[in-house]
Every structure is written in C-alpha cells, then in structure tokens.
Structure 1
Amino acid sequence: MGVGSTVQNLSKEKRLQIVWDTGEIVDSESVLYRQSISVESAITEQEAYDAAYNLASLTDYSVVEIRLITTDSLGPID
C-alpha cells in the first residue's frame, strides 16, 4: 500500500479547547490557561460553544478563545 492506495478514515476524534484569561498579569501580559477536553465525535459547533460557556459559568476565568478540533486518523498504514 502507499501512494495511489484508497484511503480510509479509521477514526474521528474531537476535542474542545478553551483558552481562559486567569485575570492575572505578569510582566504586563495576561496569564492565559489552555484546556483541552475530549468530546463526542458527533458534537456540533453550537453544542461545543454552549459547553464552553456552561463551563465558564463555573469559574472565575473569562473565555478568550474556543476551538473545536477534529482529528481524522487515516489508513491503512503498512
């Protein structure tokens, strides 16, 4: 197998990544904290967005950025 072989999507994984502003300042820079959470592969963008803000309601941190990261594992590999 290799070049020209038919590719297969072996698995799809999604992670919700939230960047938090901790409210701390060090050397005139905001201290940010990045958190990644594995989520169901069927989660929609809206569900991920809502989940991030639901989590934010439980913290004293502010949301700076929300990412929904999809990783596809391709094969076969010889």
Structure 2
Amino acid sequence: MAKHLFFIIATVYWAIMALQSWAITDESEVQALQDLYRSLNSPMQLEHWKLEGGDPCEETWIGVHCSGSSIINL
C-alpha cells in the first residue's frame, strides 16, 4: 500500500511540475516588462531580457520572480 501511495504522490508531483514548465507568461505582463526595458534603454545589467518575444518566467530574466507562469515580484 505504501509503495502505491508513494507512486501516486510522485506521479502527481511530476505532472504539476511538467505543467508549470509548459506555462506561458501572460502576454500583457511580458509586454509591460518589454516596455520597461525599452524605457530604460535596454541596460546590460538586465540579462536575458528581450525587446521582442521571449518569456520572462521560462527564460529566468534577471530580477523577475515567477510562480509558474505568473510574475509575482520585480
């Protein structure tokens, strides 16, 4: 019984983690960050930030903290 319970818990955990890795950050949030980046004249300190395209949560933009596909803090 304990083996089956462990397997079920491990499977659910893996599924949740997989879904989070496929999540896409809301386009309006990405656009707001790109506008901020543009207004700051694209500083070199903000590694991985992009003026076009990209996903700050998947690509780990410097200074952007996410939970799944949601930006929670700058």
- Larger fraction in strand: 1
Looking at CA atoms only, which structure, 1 or 2, has the larger radius of gyration?
1
TM-score (norm 1): 0.28
Answer 1 or 2: which has greater helix percent.
2
Relative CO higher for 1 or 2, CA cutoff 8 Å, sep ≥ 6?
A: 1
TM-score scaled to structure 2, two decimals?
Answer: 0.29
